[in-house]
Amino acid sequence: MVWQEFMFGCAAYSGQEDFLKLIKQEVKSNVIRLNNHPAVVVWSGSNENEKGLHDGWFKNPSKAIQ
């Protein structure tokens, strides 16, 4: 079984429309490419970003070490 990660983690990413379009293309491309692999059971990405936003890592990077 494979936990498939997307390319995002541990960084703050742009919310600009052009960048979001590129992300959408990247995700669609990889899901289409890997969709038929029976071992892929979870698609994931950005969980570190959600934790970072919640804990304030991007406002105070020293918190990420704790």
Q: One of 5, 17, 26, 48 is an active-site residue; which one?
A: 48
CA 24 centroid distance within chain = 11
- Whether residue 50 lies in the annotated active site: no
- HEC string of 21-45 equals HHHHHHHHHHHHHHCCCCCEEEEEC
- Kindly list the catalytic residues: 48
